[in-house]
Structure 1
Amino acid sequence: MLLTSSWKPSAAAADEVSDLDYLLKILHWSGTMRHPHAGPWASRVHYTINAFSTVALLLFICSQAVLLWRDGATDLEGFTLSLSVLNTASIVMIRLRHIAAREADFHRLVMQERCDFGEFLSADDLRLLHLRRRSIRRVVSAYLLSGVFISIVYIATPISAEGLPYILALPYDATQPLAFAATWLYCAYIAFSVCIETTAADSFNISLMVIYYSNTLPDQRDMLTNS
């Protein structure tokens, strides 16, 4: 039931349409942002993944910086590629640390949005959002899966002389079997972590914006639409 007998949105129905738990779980287990209701064990796992991703990204950024410093702009194509990869990895690193620093604020915002749904939404608003909820989740899930697919294609396409998906400045010979396998797994981890952290964080932020827009009073919604 979506509505209570007094024709007011029920707390359970409001909580259902504003549920971001599926995104919070992805953010948690990817090491991007801890789930607000995570227990001690799950929190420790999250912080371990977060620390590992931070170190892996930092090493990756250093490798790309060494490439730029060592090779310069003599090879314009290689310079542009390294600069683009460095820029992407640096943005993900900044985003990861920003989310970690503001984790409590993000948790507070999630809780506030879920509480506001039951207070400000009318029964008609709630009914419409209930009908649209599955469509929104399908779009978000398709967006996340597209990122995973792109990552699979990317790591399966070698571009370096060693046959790796990234051009890296390495202090060892990556053509040796064990070194190649370890470096390839490292490149795969970077590709998937950057993809998942970016798409999940984007989806989370957009979902919060949609919820905020839905919570806006009718006259405010008209003002936002007209502007």
Structure 2
Amino acid sequence: MTAVVEPQTMARLAYAPCTTKFQLQGKATGTQIPFKFDTIDGNRPKSNANTVFLWQTSDLRIPSTAPLFSMPVKKDEPKGSDVFQPVSLERKPYLMGYGVGPEVKNICSLLLFNEQGEEQKHFFADLSIKEVGTDSVTFKYFMPAGTKGVTDRDWFGLWETDSPADLYSSRPVATGYPSGNLHEGDGALFHGLIRDRKYTIGYFKGGYQDGNPKQTTLACTETFTA
């Protein structure tokens, strides 16, 4: 009798995901918004045109209207802090978005602060692996509300590595893209997986193109053992 091998669940196989974190550092004032960022190792925010955007809204969702202000990140270390200095802020709630590129479609992290300039909520992009088979891996992805995976040309890939920094330079062994425009959904990547070898999935906010997807827009990753 032939034994049936069930797909492995990720409760015992996944490592902690890596993501792009973005939060206030202190309180916002009428003219300054101090913030800190903690992106993925290997990212070069200035060189990769990482950008911060601002809207006046009380919703933790990217609006369909153009941002009031935007500012490129001035540092090339993956972690750091800076001060956003728009012309002036009213005593109202505001939404800030961190993009791993120069456009709104590249936003992968959000923070919301209230009328007193205090951070109220935040959102970070996330991956959650569901099952690992012999030749495929399935997962769920969670991007900011208001983003559109297909329209934004998001994509995801698979690498034979346990180092997220490798995803900026080495080529993936498999790629895919969202099947719809919801900001969260299911994904799958197909590749022969070798038992006990470590792999990493990366989700990229924008830059998909056949044969040569852009690798600077990495939003989050998760590593697992096959």
TM-score higher than 0.5 = no
Q: Higher RCO, 1 or 2 (CA under 8 Å, sep at least 6)?
A: 1
Relative to its length, the structure with more helix (as a share) is: 1
TM-score (norm 2): 0.23
Point out the structure with max Rg over C-alpha.
1
Relative to its length, the structure with more strand (as a share) is: 2
